[in-house]
Structure 1
Amino acid sequence: MKAIYTLLLLLFVTFTSFAQQGITGKARPAYKYEINFDVSSKIGSSIISTPFLKHVIFRKISATQKDSFRYYDGILLGIVKPSDGNVTFGPGYIQSLSKKYRVATISDSSDIQVIAYGITPNNKNFFKYHVILDDKKELTPWTTPRDFEQQFEAERLYAVLWKGKALAKQVYVEVYDTRDFDTREGVLLNWNLKTKELPHVAAMWASKKYTKKGVQMQVDYNFRKDSLNSPFFSKFNTEYNYPEELHFRQNDFGEFRIYLDLLPGTFYSTTIKKIINDSISEYRYASYKSANPLLSIQEDVFAAPGNYEIEIYNVHGEEDEEGTKKQRIRIPVRVFPPPPKETTFTLKQMVPYAAAATLVAAFVFYLYYRSNKRKIAGIEMEKQISKLRLQSVRNQLNPHFVYNALAGIQNLLNKNDNRRANEYLTRFSRISRRVLEDAEKDLVTIEDEVKLLNDYLQMEQMRFGFEYSIQVDEAIDQTNTEIPAMLLQPFVENAVKHAMPAVADGCIGIALEKRGKSILVKIRDNGKGFNVHSASGTGSALSKNRISLLNEVYSNTPMILDVQSGEDGTTILLTLNDWLA
């Protein structure tokens, strides 16, 4: 009887199995290999169980669950591993210029293939690849892919870039498109590398969630080197990029996050303990042998006021004689009690205090206003005096310019060159009219100053036949940037008057360059130079005196004059500090 029941049970199980296959279709077989593509940012998938390699070129749309083809024309670099192989991705990544490539860590003796889906015999000449062992030996120099296969039910041939294993070693594979170097992929195969370096902190921040007008809000605070005036820390470790101590009030933050810059093969452990006294501590958080670069610390770890310590170290780091890791990231944390609740007062209680505070504030403001009024009046008087002196110097410069121009006209008339004398006189009248129009202006645009210099230099070219150039940095807005009127003309005039008659092929170069928020003016000639310390020309003395007075008026943006002169010419360097907004 028992045998009959057993036979009936076996028949029921067999029938159920066939019925299920009839409903669901052919059962999916177990595959020997898996292929991992880093294509999550390209086509929405990252791991493909072979032999469904064709699934790389499409994915399901979640809304309709219909197949939608999404072709990718670049290089899909795949890592083929046995299904039972112990292969993980990370920790860390490998940097190649602007690209970051994956690190595949193989913890057993699995054979690995690196394939390039998208490279076929028809387009192979457009691609190059190389293979490097342990960052020392080039197994395959840059070359065109030669080996192609069509395994795993692939829809088309693909290139095989590397096969095999390298126990306790590293293999680096990189491939690129010769038509566009930005189209390149790579991978570092790491057979159980154990890096001993202490990880660097890439970023560290804390967040606080709160509700405002019924809306959930979140604010993030970054602990960076440039935040040394932060209320939460005062010292910073620049070598490993983390604050050497933290202090904040309970409930100031809801979550701490630390993002570590992990080298290939880096595994780290983290402990957070509350220091009870010198000999007793309570562990609040611990993780061991992690390869995840993001460390998240929840609010309940620092749930109570007191002293804490965050400690991060490399699992494979060097140890001292007592078995303690030599290198560790230690961050002492001091959590203060929350601020006491504010005491509330009634309006009746606050009125006397408010009235007294208002009277005191009004009296202090009166004293401050009276004192500042005197200071402001004194400063304004000094500025007016400086402006009057500056106008006086400018009025002396204008006759100096006119005298030199008239001497030029006389020189041409003495040579009986009436045509050029007339042209000279025409340009001189235009320059004079412009100077008279700007006589009441303290500042003119760089565009107008350049026009004045062009007219003047073209006028003087008739006398001396020299060459000149004026260049203005494109980063300077000539139309809207103003400088003191006729600031550069006296220096250019000196170059024409003293340098050009002394050389056969005279040349004057003028350049205005943007240096941060400052403007650097360079005026260079190829004359025979002069003794800077013993020069006594009227124009030079007036120009220096004018710059000194301008520095009194524009004290927040001082000008620096540097005159360099030698046998090969003279260079005027005039810096207008912080002149650009």
Structure 2
Amino acid sequence: MHHLKNNRGWLMGMLLFPQGMLGSTSAEAQTRSAPFGHNFLFELYTITSRAMVTEPVYTLIPDTAVYRIYDKLEEGAERGVVKNRSKSPLLLGVKLNPSLTRFSGNNVQSVTKEYPSYRIADSSEAILIAMGITIDNKDQYRYHVVENDSVELVPWSPVAKLEQQFGARQPYAFLGRFKAPGKTILVEVVHVKDYRIRDGVLFDWRTNLQPVLAQITLGMRRDYFNLAYLQRNRHYATRFDPQTGVPLDFAFPVDSVEQIILQLERRESVAYAVYLLKEIAGRRDTVFLGMVNQAGQFALDKGMYTPAGRYEVRIESQSRMPVWDEASMIKIPFEVLPSPEAKTLAWRQIVPWLLGALVLVLLLFAAYRQYSRRLVRRAAQQRSMIQLQLKSIRSQLNPHFMFNALGSIQNLMNKNNQLLANLYLAKFAGLTRKVLNTSEQELISLEEELKIADDYLQMEQLRFGFQYELQVAANINQANTGIPSMLLQPFIENAVKHGLAALKDQGKIIVSVQQKGHDLVFVVQDNGAGFRIDEVAGKESSWGLKLSQERVDLINRVYKDQPASLQFFSEPGNTTVTLTLTNWSRP
């Protein structure tokens, strides 16, 4: 058998399954819809040799060998257990419909004791036995059965029936078969001379899991009130849903409400999770706040909703991830309004801020103007003939890039991978739009160039599964550093097509940008098989590299005092292309 910890925060916690079955948490099992199986479920306490911590565990024992619960109690160090003991001398065992799933409920508090609960959504019956009550001690115990926490179906009575079934080796107390669709049944057993020796089980056949809002209390600095009490609620809400009692126009100024206390009708067997959806300054977020306590309350402190904005509390029955099922949750929307003082600031308070903003705008304008003049000076250096030649090369690079991408899409379609081809095509469409938008520009920002490279690598990563990194030195102003458009693209395409295609998910490409003095250094490195420059120079597959070399030569003719250099290094496992723009980052 497998030993796992009982985590009460996740419904019923961990289960110990019989030999041959995989143990898992109740929440995980329910996520996979694992059935109850042909078993009895017992609750024990165990001390593991690994942690030496006493932990509650739940154990499933086959219903053909129920005597094995005693083997479990005697289990020793060979299974990593120092000691096992029963939760109570009663050794209560529960048997449910073998095909029942999602059966675990919230623990029910009884003074210092906690009773497990079981949700029986298919209206099947439940069997309850007490292996610890035998013919020798049955007169020491009494039990009763309560329906819906209101009607005592069986008053406190002696144990009337002992039986020996399900592979038992001695008689045990049979407490009953129970079935009450749409209701709850609580079975509680107690020692007549020692009330501390008691245990119980709650069976819940109710199917409606939606929380019911009973009251919203607002805590102020020196006051508190029921939000639904219109005479005192300061007009924070005026309309309420007649079915659920949820306020429809709940709003209050920021910092005015210290605490929002939500009171729900108690559902003993259901644990409710609380989430807060925020919309602040156009940004949305969802936060898990916690669980509703056993009294049915949850309090939101001011820090959870301090910024002005729109909020919505969502409460639903607990699951591993929120599912937002309308049938099992309630929504409580509210708005936090800006402070009234903020709306009535005097002009003498606003003017200094306006002056500061104006100075900042002027400084930004001066910086932008200086940057624009620098671009104009560079553009004035170009010769009309060289400009036409550069434009011609750019017009050839763009189709070359598109043909490569279309070839990749065709390859995916030939493999009948339509899902990946569609995703690839969607990314290709966005990337093509960016490339065409910059096709008429000689210079674009480094930020735009790297964005195109990143989008392209993401697109090709869908096909080949390689890894990549974009590394930019922190001292480089990407937005204000202009470089020739499509400068890196041919080298990146060449690395992917000739270096990484065969390596699949073992491939890796690193694109780095560094500033050395006033020089910008671009490096494209991959771990492909490598190539010899003289062997690929005349091949059609190297057309992009050839155009890039010609373009570098033309750039050197335009920017004579800022020459560019291109270097190749290739060996198996390391191909590196280094492009240096000299004096490119000078003022």
> Same-fold call, TM > 0.5?
no
- Tell me the TM-score range normalised by the shorter chain: 0.3 to 0.5
TM-score, length-scaled by structure 1: 0.35
* Larger Rg computed on CA atoms: 1
